[in-house]
């Protein structure tokens, strides 16, 4: 919550998209205790606004237009769609801009496909190195891995086939999240269930795994029911 003191008559409370940040504009004459009480008395309203926003966020389809927020490696970028007469390309010219160059008249779905292909390539570059790093640590081998679009899972595995599937959405998350999900799936090769032994293995191999999990489930891609 952000509190801003201003030369105004009345206390003003607002909940902002996209993530429900609360901002209170407070008249100079009102003390902290009065601000606290005012906010508490409006908590119900604040929660309702935040719920509405998070609901919208989950449901809204991306339009793939300039100005939208898109994520890569846990960082938020402002999408800049530029029309050019050459094959489509995605670039990050700086820390805040994601440029999507497409041919004039490219449809929304095609623009999304271009971005998804870019995400997929970026993940493909990271995964072999991570597998090579963790195979000797965990003492298992991965026979096959794939990047999939999955609705409710960050990753999944087939223990008998020594196969790991990773969610394309992981490209939007901090790098540690991809590593955590991969290790989680590889540890399933040793223990199928999320039991005490599984947690002990995770604690030994990746002591910070709970932190990574928390990051993974944090906005903007927080789905309460995601499994892996
Ligand atoms: Zn699991």
CATH of the domain at 207: 3.30.2010.10
Average pLDDT by stretches of 10, the chain with 228 residues: 86 79 88 89 86 62 89 94 96 97 96 97 97 98 96 90 96 94 97 96 97 78 42
Residue 211 belongs to a domain? yes
Distances (CA, A) of 112 to 24, 64, 121, 216: 37, 6, 14, 22
Distance 193 CA to ligand 1 centre (A): 7
**Distance from the CA of 66 to the center of ligand 1, in angstroms?**
37
DSSP state string for 124-179: HHHHHHHHHHHHHHHT---SEEEEE--SSBSEEEETTTTEEEEEGGGGGS-HHHHH
If asked whether residues 197 and 142 sit together in one domain, one would say: yes
Give residue 59's pLDDT. Answer: 42
Return the pLDDT at 89: 97
Residue 143 covered by a domain: yes
Q: What is the pLDDT of residue 224?
A: 35
Q: Are residues 83 and 166 in the same domain?
A: no
pTM of the model: 0.71
d(CA 188, ligand 1 centre) in Å: 7
CA of 191 to the centre of ligand 1 (A): 9
N-term to C-term CA, the chain: 32
pLDDT at 196: 96
Q: What pLDDT score does 48 carry?
A: 83
Give pLDDT, residue 217. Answer: 76
How many domains is the chain partitioned into structurally?
3
CA of 124 to the centre of ligand 1 (A): 21
Distance 158 CA to ligand 1 centre (A): 11
Same domain, 52 and 25: yes
H or E element at residue 113: helix 108-138
- Residue 221 domain flag: no
Structural domain harbouring 21 = 2-59
Rounded distance between C-alpha atoms, residue 88 and residue 86, angstroms: 6
71 CA to centre of ligand 1 in angstroms? 25
């Amino acid at each position: 919550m952000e509190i801003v003191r201003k030369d105004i008559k009345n206390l003003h409370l607002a909940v902002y998209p996209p993530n429900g940040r609360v901002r209170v504009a407070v008249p100079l004459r009102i003390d902290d205790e009065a601000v606290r009480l005012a906010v508490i008395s409006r908590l119900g309203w604040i929660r309702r606004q935040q719920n509405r926003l998070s609901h919208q966020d989950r449901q809204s389809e991306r339009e793939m237009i300039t100005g939208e927020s898109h994520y890569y490696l846990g960082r938020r970028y402002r999408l800049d769609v530029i029309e050019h007469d050459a094959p489509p390309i995605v670039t990050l010219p700086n820390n805040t801009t994601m440029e999507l160059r497409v041919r004039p008249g490219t449809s929304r779905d095609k623009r999304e496909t271009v971005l998804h292909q870019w995400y997929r390539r970026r993940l493909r570059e990271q995964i072999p190195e991570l597998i090579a790093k963790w195979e000797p640590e965990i003492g298992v081998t991965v026979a096959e891995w794939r990047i999939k679009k999955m609705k409710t899972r960050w990753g999944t595995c087939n223990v008998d086939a020594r196969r790991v599937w990773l969610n394309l959405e992981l490209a939007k998350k901090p790098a540690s999240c991809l590593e955590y999900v991969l290790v989680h799936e590889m540890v399933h090769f040793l223990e199928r269930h999320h039991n005490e032994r599984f947690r002990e293995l995770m604690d030994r191999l990746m002591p910070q795994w709970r932190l990574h999990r928390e990051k993974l489930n944090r906005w903007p891609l927080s789905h309460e029911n995601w499994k892996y």
